[in-house]
Structure 1
Amino acid sequence: MNVEISHPIGPWRRLSAAAALAACVLSASCAAQAGTASAPAQTSAGVNTSVPPKVPQSGLTKGLALPLEAYMLNYADELVIERAEHRLTAECMRKLGFTYQPPAVGTTPQESSNDSNMPRRYGISDLELSAKYGYHPQSAVDPHPDRSVVPISPAERAALLGTGAPGKSSGGCIAESRQKLQISYGTKASELSKTSLDTSLETNEVKSAMQRWSDCMKNRGYSYTDVYAPLAQFNSSANQGVNQAEIQTTTADIECKSQVRLIEVWFATETVIQQRLIEQNQLVLAKEQETIAQEIRNSSAVR
């Protein structure tokens, strides 16, 4: 199968969250006021703040966890670290004479506990979820929090980010809080996870199973060469809502995956690949794992 496949793994969530916070500050849209209290941002009714399970509890990926997931930060612990970072940042800003209200934590629905993205790693896999969301991620369909905030001044922005050009700032309350927590944003496990998925797509086992899935879909009236093609089609800018045609496609998609045992074959193949990658990168993975554990310990101590 000589096609270029675009899959939903990466960029890494922790780095994306950090970049989002920096963008918030640089655009002067985070809540902070000198000498006066700013009101906490209120979340909209119905916003999903649930924490996804470490292992999928439904669908074709139920109970599946790849070896590299043991080295990744899970979403629940990620929230512990983010909350601690925000508390320390707010405390630092208060000492400088500002009242800072950081962005709300945990208000963006997550389908996966970590960067492995198991529920959607091999395309959609859960009939119940697809009946509601189609190919769209939950975050594109569920209500979003109210992100209305108070603009901040250049002085407040400097206090948060420090001085210097963006990306080269020295000091600042955000940097100070991350230093106290020893946050490193290690991504080796996530990088290897992407590598293993790319590698698995080139194996005869996965190519054969993917072709059987494609043939099954063709028999139902759909023409797709890989499981990521419908994801891209229905998540394009031209498809803003979930419609009946999309729901019908997801049903055929998942039923064909089950019929040809695509995910079962793919998961087994990638497990072997990841075990080999872990053996080749054991030292750096173990170091990153301990670094994450230390971040969690440091963050849990913040009150």
Structure 2
Amino acid sequence: MRTRPIVRTGLVACAVAVTLVFAGCAKSDPALTAPPAELDSTALDLLTQSGSFHQHEYLLTAAEEVLVGRCMRNQGVAYPKEPPKADTRTDEERVLNLAERQRQGYGLSQPNGSNVPALDQYVRALPVAARTAFTRALFGADDQRRAIELPGTGPVSFPGNGCLHDAQAALFGDILTWARVTYVPEELNNKLAALATASPEYKQAMRRWSTCMNHRGYKYAEPAKVSEDFSARYEANGKSKELLQQEIKAAVADATCAQQVDIPDLVIHLKKSKAATLSVAELHSMSELAAVWSQAATTAEVVLNTTG
């Protein structure tokens, strides 16, 4: 259930202001006028979605499922178990996803809806009345939704009651804290990714990647151009086994060259180095949110260890 849909709404928690995203709903703190010490490894992992991030997210996802399922059953609503699988891959393996590329390339030929989560499939198959009851129990009432404001994105809304809300609040202490931990680092990660990919080091790596691809018979300036090219081919010629095999071959070559040039690790390194460019408020917020995130993961372990 730890999906992160961004739903915009006019409803906001506290007051809609950018400072609430980075400093919470408390009054301004004079300590925020000075930058904090360098972000620790936990904060950098949360910020760049690397390292310990995935183990923390696994614990939080698993515990959230347990709490949501318990809440739904207490309301008399059947809730199919969908425990997450632990992902022990390295950051590089996760980014390159070579095994998946060897099966279906970039996934461009897959039919629409082929990756619909099992829970969504279950809900869609329910009779209308049962589907309405399930949705209301899980997400709560529409008029109770809360939101925070993200710079450059706008208001992001989330349930203000219901079983999903209760589970997230139980893990993080309250729903606004859950929202800040969920969305603020993600927003800042996107900001750092833009800085990283604009850097001379990244551009040099792209030139090496392009040379590597050229040696394999492909002329592309950057990885995004490969999938764009094959998308255009599918649109022009339709799906075929021959085109799928070409897509798979190109996607594997893309990943192989990225691995040889060490692009996944370079991007993480660049994003972490660019963290120093964040504002004082953003740095303070990341330190605070990382501590909350770690505590939530500890709470999640307790939930999982006490589940019968």
Residue 99 (str. 1) matches residue 73 (str. 2): no
Partner of 1:181: 171
Q: Which amino acid aligns with 1:222?
A: Y
Instruction: Give the number of the structure whose residues are more often helix, by fraction.
Output: 2
**Partners of 1:283 and 1:103 in 2: CA distance:** 38
Partner of 1:203: 199
Instruction: Give per-residue Cα distances to partners, 1:102-146, cap 9 Å, x unaligned.
Output: 451326x96977xxx64465xx475x6643443349x99999858
Partner of 2:32: none
**TM-score, normalised via structure 2 length:** 0.56
Partner of 1:165: 143
**Aligned-pair CA distance for 1:101:** 0.9
Q: Which structure exhibits the higher relative contact order, with contacts defined as CA atoms closer than 8 Å and separated by 6 or more residues? A: 2
Q: Which amino acid aligns with 2:102?
A: A
**Partners of 1:135 and 1:174 in 2: CA distance:** 32
Q: Which amino acid aligns with 1:100?
A: A
Number of aligned residues: 237
Partner of residue 45 from structure 2, selected from 58, 64, 69: 69
What SS is found at the alignment partner of 2:4? helix
**Aligned-pair CA distance for 1:290:** 1.5
Q: How does 1:6-155 map to 2 (within 5 A)?
A: 14-16=2-4, 68-69=44-45, 72=49, 74-96=53-75, 98-102=76-80, 104-106=82-84, 118-119=92-93, 121=95, 124=96, 126=98, 130-136=101-107, 147-148=121-122, 150-151=126-127, 152=130, 154-155=132-133
Partner of 2:21: none
**Aligned-pair CA distance for 1:202:** 1.6
Instruction: Give per-residue Cα distances to partners, 1:68-97, cap 9 Å, x unaligned.
Output: 32555734433433343333334334444x
Partner of 2:17: none
Identity among equivalent pairs (%) = 21
Runs of 4+ in 1 over 6 A off after TM superposition: 109-113, 139-144
**Partners of 1:295 and 1:67 in 2: CA distance:** 14
Q: What is the RMSD of the two structures over their aligned residues, measured on CA atoms? A: 4.5
Q: Which amino acid aligns with 2:286?
A: L
Structure 2 residues not aligned, in runs of 5+: 8-40, 147-158
What SS is found at the alignment partner of 1:99? coil
**TM-score, normalised via structure 1 length:** 0.57
